[in-house]
Amino acid sequence: GENVEQHPSTLSVQEGDSAVIKCTYSDSASNYFPWYKQELGKRPQLIIDIRSNVGEKKDQRIAVTLNKTAKHFSLHITETQPEDSAVYFCAASGGSNYKPTFGKGTLLTVNP
Amino acid sequence: NAGVTQTPKFRVLKTGQSMTLLCAQDMNHEYMYWYRQDPGMGLRLIHYSVGEGTTAKGEVPDGYNVSRLKKQNFLLGLESAAPSQTSVYFCASSYSMDRGYNEQFFGPGTRLTVL
């Protein structure tokens, strides 16, 4: 089955700095790669996703890049703000894999 | 639209008791999922369903049963609760992967404590 590794597990940055979280996956048939943000005590919510027919996608301060050859994808947050503090999860699904496989999460702390 | 709702929000059980968690969605999603979330362990899939009347095991199915008698509902049962099942339980739903994506829409969660 699919295996998703996520790094780092914790990340602390100063407000205004950039943050990068990386995930690797094992199943070359996977073709959908979402990122979810979970604030403390809340449910996870999708913030951005990418499909295997594109290499990069941006939405304001957030971007995701995908390298299908190397089987890894990354979340980039620029000009971080305290409200970006949360746990971020990557996931992969597609091919014969009906269900998403999640990474273990990254706790991002943005210090004012 | 209410999205994905879960009942109850909180529950305390004694070891050996049983209970059922109810998940409902009004987005006409084909797929539904049950996850548990423990500190440092991320989201672990318990069971999932790809359509009415179907269920399948996820990563951590032992001690749980599920049923999906109606497309909009997905029930998670604990027959004999154990302290190891203390966790936050999230239900989610999505469209089928036939669309090329299966964005998860999560419910608000159920916090379960087993004493």
Cα separation, A4 vs A23, in Å, equals 7
Closest CA to A37 of A96, A84, A70, A100: A84
Question: What value does the mean pLDDT of chain A take?
Answer: 94
Tell me what the mean pLDDT of segment A91-102 comes to. 84
Residue B24 pairs in a beta bridge with B5, B73
Examine the pLDDT at A60 and tell me if it is beyond 90.
yes
Closest CA to A72 of A92, A53, A95, A87: A92
List the 55-114 stretch of B: residues with Cβ below 8 A of A: 58, 90, 96-97, 100-104, 106-109
Point out the least confidently predicted range of A34-43, A49-58, A75-84, B82-91: A49-58
Question: What value does the mean pLDDT of chain B take?
Answer: 94
A111: confidence class by pLDDT, cuts 50, 70, 90: very high
Examine the pLDDT at A21 and tell me if it is beyond 90.
yes
Tokens representing B35 are 């996850």
Looking at residue B98, what is its pLDDT? 80
Task: Nearest by CB to A43, from B33, B48, B107: name it.
Answer: B107
Tell me what the mean pLDDT of segment B49-59 comes to. 94
Tell me what the mean pLDDT of segment A45-69 comes to. 93
